[in-house]
Structures are given as C-alpha cells and as structure tokens.
Amino acid sequence: MTFRTRAGLGLALATALTTLAPLAASGAPATAAPAAGAKPSAVEPSVGEPVLVGHRGASGYRPEHTLAAYELAIEQGADYIEPDLVATKDGVLVARHENEIGGTTDVADHPEFAERRTTKVIDGRAVTGWFTEDFTYRELRTLRAKERLPQVRPGNTAYDGEERIPTLDQVIKLARREGVGIYPETKHPTYFDSIGLSLEEPLVAALEKRKWADADDPVIIQSFEVTNLRELDTMVDVPLAQLVDASGGPADLPGTTYASMVTPAGLAAIATYADGLGAAKNLVLPRDAAGRTGAPSSVVPDAHDVGLVVHVWTLRRENQFMATNFRIGTDPNAPGDLAAEARAFLDAGVDGIFSDNPDVVAGVLAEG
C-alpha cells in the first residue's frame, strides 16, 4: 500500500493551533458561556489535510503503548503517536492506557509483586489489580507488555513479552527522531493529584527538557477532565484538546455531562481554554436503532464555529467496533470496511482521525 507523505502535516497543524491567551475565568463551569476576554480562536478549522493519529500506536497490530506499536504507526503514516500517561511511585510518566496494568503487562506472573494486587477507587469506580503508582520505574522495567484484547487480536499475542513499558521521554525521543508529533493524554489527573503525583508538571518539564513546548512544536495535549486542561493552558503554549465521550461526564466536574459540553454553549466554553475537541465517533455520526450511521450531527460545524478543530476517536477495523453499515460478515472479530468508515468521517468534516490501524486510514487519506 502507498502511504501519503507525512512531512510537515503534523507541524502545520500544531502551528495553526497556537494557544494565544491564558484562561480568563479559571474554574468556570464547563458549560458556561465564554467570559469577556476569553481565549481568542486560535485556528481556522479544516485548513490543510486531516491528521492521522496512531491510537496507542498501531495497536491493531502490536500490543498497545509499546515502542514497537509507536514505530509501526509511524511506518504506516501516522502524523502523531498517542501516549496515555500515568505516573510511577517515583513520579516517572509512563505510557499505559490505565494505571491498572494487570491486563497489559505480565505483572501477574511475578510472584515478587503478588502482594501489591489491591482494590482502589479511581474516578468513583472500584478497580482491582496492580497500579503503576505502587511501583518504582525501576520495578516497572522488569515487566513486559502483552496484548490487552487477546481474544479479539490473537495475532498480537505473538509479541507478548517482547517490550517494556516506555517512558514519556522515550516516546518524545522516538517521535522527534522520526519527524512526527505526540498527542499525550493525561489519565485520571484528579486522582493522581489526590495521591501527590500530579501529571501536569512532569509532562511540561519533559516537553521543556526536549525543547518541545512551544506553540509551533507538533504536540497536542488531551484530557477527559477539564480542570487540568485549564491549568495546562496557563503553563504551556502547545495546543490542548478536550476529550468528550458519548456518555457520562468529566470526573472532576460532577453534574457536568459530555452531552452538555457539545452543545453550542458548551463548545464555546471549551474554546476559552482549549484548541480542539477529541470526540467519540458516535457523537459525530450517531447510530440509529439498527446500529447504522446516518446524517452527521451538528458537533463538527458547531465546534468549527467557535474555532475548535475536531479529531474523532477511535476507528478500529474489527466489526464489533463499527456501525452495522460498515461491518462485513457476522464474526465480531473479523475486519469490517474500515476504509468506508474513515471516508464517512472525513465527509462529515472532521480534522483528524485516531485509529488502531493507521495503514488503512492513511490509504484513504492518500486518495485525496
């Protein structure tokens, strides 16, 4: 397959997404209308080619959040690679989708760590397992990554045990060497604040150490929470993206729903501290009772109206993750028509796509 040229695309987007002013009214509800003097629009939406983000790397083909997954995503045409960030006991930021690592590492096979299995309440939900914040980075280095969805992606299990948990610094160095951007997500920032392991300061320090913290650097920081993005808006010049799910709401703002945040008023409030919207794909292409997508919602044009770009997540090739009109056959783990799904979202006007299978989306983008 021929992939499109990556050079300059990520940098061009990051340059366009400049943070121009600090938050005017820190602590305002997420659904409040912008205050006078709120952050000006920093971007002309839909300028240039849509960007492609390797979701946790090329996680459709390698265990997620490993250097091998990131390297493959770059090879397949990703403009950005996405490290989800959690903290170790000694404050090192590492790439894991969750701070609970029982499902993504071989920690259960290490008898020396058996007593560290515990239950914690994370964002109001009880979770049992092993947690990064209970390990030093030196201890985490003794673990190896494994496939999170072995029943769905059995081919990925061939790579179990080959890769360590990468640090943020290692991901930055890889991205800079290969000429792509990074799109880090702070995971459970309020929880980590509560245990004295704030994510924001070490994230900013890591970017500044590598001289990658300016508005024209290909870095976008994202979060499902609001408070930490407001804080980051005063700390760093790189673009920020507010993540929104199709249900629920941010853990740091009880009573606020993601549904309220994607109304015109909610999007205008987001634009006071962020530059982009990371939208769950069902918010952009809603599904009917039969599970089929229909006409796009107003989320993309409403976001563009207030100067926000829209990056949609997550496109995966397996049938079970697709609307019924993109599925092929009845096997939930068999590949569906991911190319058709990508085209549908591009037709809906999104400015970027997160995908576990960057090669497929890159092929669609190459069609022009």
**CATH number of the domain encompassing residue 14:** 3.20.20.190
Q: Is the pLDDT of residue 304 over 60?
A: yes
Count of alpha carbons within 13 angstroms of residue 68, beta-carbon side: 19
Give Cα separations from 29 to 16, 44, 154, 186 (angstroms). 27, 26, 44, 20
Total count of domains within the chain: 1
Burial status of residue 287 (CB atoms within 10 A of its CB: 0-12, 13-18, 19 or more): middle
Express each pLDDT in 339-355 by its tens digit: 999 999 999 999 999 99
The yes-or-no verdict on residue 258 having pLDDT over 90 is yes
Give residue 27's pLDDT: 36
Closest CA to 78 of 157, 204, 171, 205: 171
133 in a domain, yes or no? Answer: no
Indicate whether 311 belongs to any domain.
yes
Does 157 reside within a domain?
Answer: no
| Six-digit token string for 162 | 């080959």
The residue range of the domain holding 362 is 9-91+164-366
66 falls within a domain? yes
> Is the bond preceding 2 in cis, omega lying within 30 degrees of 0?
no
Contact at 8 Å (CB) between 282 and 267?
no
Q: What is the pLDDT of residues 274-297, one digit of tens each?
A: 999 999 999 999 999 999 999 999
Q: Model's pTM, two decimal places?
A: 0.88
Say yes or no to pLDDT of 250 above 80.
yes
Is 131 inside a domain boundary? Answer: no
| pLDDT computed for residue 146 by the predictor | 98
Specify if 224 maps to a domain: yes
- Asked whether 134 and 300 are in contact (CB, 8 A), the reply is no
β-pairing verdict for 118-122 and 240-244: unpaired
pLDDT in tens, 24-75: 333 333 333 333 334 443 334 445 689 999 999 999 999 999 999 999 999 9
Average pLDDT, the chain: 89
Does some domain include residue 97?
Answer: no
Q: Give a yes or no: residue 87 inside a domain.
A: yes
